[in-house]
Amino acid sequence: MERLLDGRVAVVTGAAQGIGFEIARTLHQHGARVVLADLDEQAAARAATDIAGDGSDCAGVACNVTSEDDVRAVVSGAVDRFGALDIFVNNAGITRDASMKKMTLENFDAVISVHLRGTWLGVREASAVMREQKSGSIVNISSLSGKSGNPGQTNYSAAKAGIVGLTKAAAKEVAHHNVRVNAVQPGLIRTPMTAAMPPDVFAQREADVPMKRAGEPGEVAGAVVFLASSLSSYITGSVIEVGGGRYM
């Protein structure tokens, strides 16, 4: 396999499990040194060991993406440890699904905060380093829920649509510094997040996908590697859908 990211330095948030873990694993497979940031430091450290064994080119660190101090510390920690920051993936996410009748303000604020505030902090802190370097690629994980709007997800759909607007605005601000900002919109992907869905709902959603199956985390990671690598050197402000044709 041709390694597309030899020597690059990457940070992935929410990387202890699911899509984030697979993104970190695939970036590492392509030669990147990776900082895995997650709420649970031990889970992040275990994930880093799963990827790199005893190797020193992966690290797991604690980070709550809603905390300005935490995000700053992750970015400066990556630069101190590995000497640069080339790739930053804003992946951390939560759901608090409920119809509007039942959704509390806390459910709304929590989802908006992790996805929108978290992604904004990641983009701001990462791009500050990358604009000085005159290179870098930021990838924000949105969702097809932000394109189509899902009932029961007024909070999540709003946050994921907001990430698209944030991606495009930020891309325009930093393009002339050779920093690219793009988004990926996964559809239905098999992870701990979707394992929490009732099986009949999951099966119905799967039946609605033109490719007639849920996606795997590695299929999202492939799009992220493309956007992180020089294969996509003239792509910024774009949104790649990884949804098996759903909502095309």
Catalytic residues: 156
Using CB under 6 A, which of 5, 10, 11, 19 touches ligand NAP? 19
The one-letter amino acid at 54:
D
Using CB under 6 A, which of 9, 92, 123, 130 touches ligand NAP? 92
Indicate the residue among 129 and 184 with the shorter CB distance to ligand NAP. 184
The one-letter amino acid at 114:
V
Q: What is the DSSP letter of 6?
A: T
Backbone angles phi, psi at 35, to 5 degrees: -100, 120
Are 23 and 12 in contact, with CB atoms under 8 Å apart? yes
Q: Does 157 interact with ligand NAP (rule: CB under 6 A)?
A: no
Are 185 and 142 in contact, with CB atoms under 8 Å apart? yes
Q: Does 116 interact with ligand NAP (rule: CB under 6 A)?
A: no
Please give the structure tokens belonging to residue 243.
């949804």
Query: What SS3 state is found at 162?
Result: helix
What is the size of the binding site for ligand NAP (CB under 6 A)? 29
For residue 192, the minimal CB distance to ligand NAP (Å) is 4
Q: Does 94 interact with ligand NAP (rule: CB under 6 A)?
A: yes
Q: Does 143 interact with ligand NAP (rule: CB under 6 A)?
A: yes
Closest CA to 88 of 2, 10, 168: 10
Indicate the residue among 83 and 192 with the shorter CB distance to ligand NAP. 192
Give me the sheet containing 179-186, strands edge to edge.
58-62, 33-38, 9-13, 87-90, 136-141, 179-186, 239-242
**Ranges within 172-211 binding ligand NAP (CB under 6 A):** 186, 188-189, 191-194
For residue 18, the minimal CB distance to ligand NAP (Å) is 2
List residues binding ligand NAP (CB under 6 A).
13-14, 16-20, 38-40, 63-66, 91-94, 114, 118, 141, 143, 186, 188-189, 191-194
